[in-house]
Amino acid sequence: MLPILDRERSVAPPGFNRWLVPPAALSIHLAIGQAYAFSVFNLPLTKLIGVSQSAPDDWKLSTVGWIFSVAIVFLGLSAAFLGAWLEKMGPRTAMLLSALFFSSGFLVASLGVSLHQLWLIILGYGVFGGIGLGIGYISPVKTLISWFPDRPGMATGLAIMGFGGGAMIGAPLSVALMNHFQTAASLGVAETFLTMGLFYFVFMMLGVCLVRIPAPNWKPAGFVPSSEKREMITNANVSATNAIRTPQFWLLWAVLFLNVTAGIAVLSQASAMIQEMFQGRVTAAAAGGFVGLLSIFNMGGRFVWSSCSDFLGRKRTYMIFFALGAVLYALIPSIGNSGNIVLFVLGYGVILSMYGGGFATIPVYLKDLFGTLQVGAIHGRLLTAWSAAGVVGPVLVNYLREYQLSQNVPKAQAYSVTMYIMAGLLVVGFLANFLVKPVDAKFATLDGGKRA
């Protein structure tokens, strides 16, 4: 490994401004957040041969959908299996690896488009890109928590907000590039992938160059750790290996899984739902705008809720997500039926803010329960809940909808039943979060499991 990547070479000198670290983290998360915007390539990928319309040899939309699914699965796998190793290597190595994998994924996918080989695109964007996503997602978390012991929720919220915001850059950038490279014989997808691979590599290198870890025992000026005993915040450290043996890990796995499943479910039907509930008032273009607006709530919620959790406590924050979420999910159909579009958008927005907030608050919840030592690796393992929810959520919604339509339930009402079932899932999440208690001292390592 290059000496410049040594963990020791990443230690910040005295006088280093810790506010340089959030942009380093953001440069990674804003880039990999592009994954949320991959759907803009779905239709062009089905018309690579026919260009103006799909030719018989073109891929089907359902086949193209595998690219994103494979990427999300590899995100979870790489975060789970590489987390502990990345902890040892340090954030700079992790960020560089993320940049290399994510960018090379685009380059291989570009080759796949040029040769019209789907397996190459899946290998590139799905496997390589997915590994880049997983490594990049967890790489700055522990570093930020270490730099901001006074506001860990705000710090992780800032980075993970970037993942939500990445789609807002990725979508218009992809469209602009495809328009630029488009010719009469090509949709410009290969050139767009190539350009994005190079662009994101350069963009992510800021994080690689800038990131520093604080010196041992460093504390922000004027920061005095609270001497007040807080049951849900430990001073001990639990290894990633031990963490997965605790009930707390699996309760938080369930918390993340249920929050994400419900969120993905409503997100996946948002566009169709608003058009069918407000027939004649909301066009397809306006529904697209609605989904864009939801991504702003999703992004904002990551920062706002995670920052609030520094004051409210993590457990109480998730109590709010699940209690308020269950009420809103159950109310949305009635709000839609009342015809109040502003209230409908607002309700949906708050739901999506809590979906994003759930992602951003979970790493600090883990830090509170398991300590800082291997929080990145533990976070990586917990992200398998996201991968599972990414598969279960859309399947569950589609199955529920098809079943109800087959039972002659009117379209608008089919949404209602789905929302009530999702509200039920959130009640289960509430109970799982309620059961989270401090980790038993027997699981702690290194310092004997002392508690503050």
Q: What is the nearest approach in angstroms of other proteins to the Cβ of residue 32? A: 13
Q: What is the nearest approach in angstroms of other proteins to the Cβ of residue 387? A: 25
Q: Which residues bind other proteins (CB under 8 A)?
A: 7-8, 10-17, 19-20, 23-24, 26-27, 30, 87-88, 162, 165, 167-172, 203, 206, 210, 213, 215-216, 239, 282-283, 285-290, 292-293, 295-296, 341, 345, 373-374, 445-446
H or E stretch at 237: strand 237-238
- In this complex, which beta carbon is closest to other proteins, that of residue 272 or of residue 330? 272
- In this complex, which beta carbon is closest to other proteins, that of residue 37 or of residue 385? 37
Q: What is the nearest approach in angstroms of other proteins to the Cβ of residue 88? A: 5
Q: What is the nearest approach in angstroms of other proteins to the Cβ of residue 103? A: 16
Q: What is the nearest approach in angstroms of other proteins to the Cβ of residue 302? A: 13
Q: What is the nearest approach in angstroms of other proteins to the Cβ of residue 16? A: 6
Phi-psi region for residue 367, left (φ > 0), alpha (ψ -120 to 50) or beta?
alpha
DSSP string, 214-231: PPTT---TT-----S--T
- In this complex, which beta carbon is closest to other proteins, that of residue 3 or of residue 216? 216
Q: Identify whether the C-beta of residue 128 lies closer than 8 Å to the C-beta of residue 105.
A: yes
- In this complex, which beta carbon is closest to other proteins, that of residue 32 or of residue 108? 32
- In this complex, which beta carbon is closest to other proteins, that of residue 122 or of residue 208? 208
Question: For residue 317, how far is the Cα from the chain centroid?
Answer: 18
- In this complex, which beta carbon is closest to other proteins, that of residue 446 or of residue 452? 446
In three-state secondary structure terms, 241 is: helix
Q: Identify whether the C-beta of residue 191 lies closer than 8 Å to the C-beta of residue 52.
A: no
Q: What is the nearest approach in angstroms of other proteins to the Cβ of residue 291? A: 9
Q: Identify whether the C-beta of residue 375 lies closer than 8 Å to the C-beta of residue 142.
A: yes
- The structure tokens listed for 316 are 């109480």
- In this complex, which beta carbon is closest to other proteins, that of residue 11 or of residue 427? 11
Best CA proximity match to 27, nearest among 295, 297, 208, 195 = 208
- The structure tokens listed for 274 are 């608003």
Q: What is the nearest approach in angstroms of other proteins to the Cβ of residue 269? A: 17
Q: What is the nearest approach in angstroms of other proteins to the Cβ of residue 395? A: 28
Question: How many Å apart are CA 314 and CA 368, to the nearest integer?
Answer: 8
- In this complex, which beta carbon is closest to other proteins, that of residue 7 or of residue 411? 7
- Phi/psi of residue 444, each to 5°? -75, 150
Question: How many Å apart are CA 433 and CA 60, to the nearest integer?
Answer: 41
Question: For residue 247, how far is the Cα from the chain centroid?
Answer: 24
Question: How many Å apart are CA 425 and CA 430, to the nearest integer?
Answer: 9
The per-residue b/e assignment along 252-273, b for 16 or more CB within 10 angstroms, e otherwise, is: bbbbbbbbbbbbbbbbebbbeb
Q: What is the nearest approach in angstroms of other proteins to the Cβ of residue 171? A: 8
Question: For residue 18, how far is the Cα from the chain centroid?
Answer: 24
- DSSP H helical ranges for 182-214: 189-210
- In this complex, which beta carbon is closest to other proteins, that of residue 51 or of residue 345? 345
- In this complex, which beta carbon is closest to other proteins, that of residue 282 or of residue 389? 282
H or E stretch at 350: helix 341-370
In three-state secondary structure terms, 339 is: coil
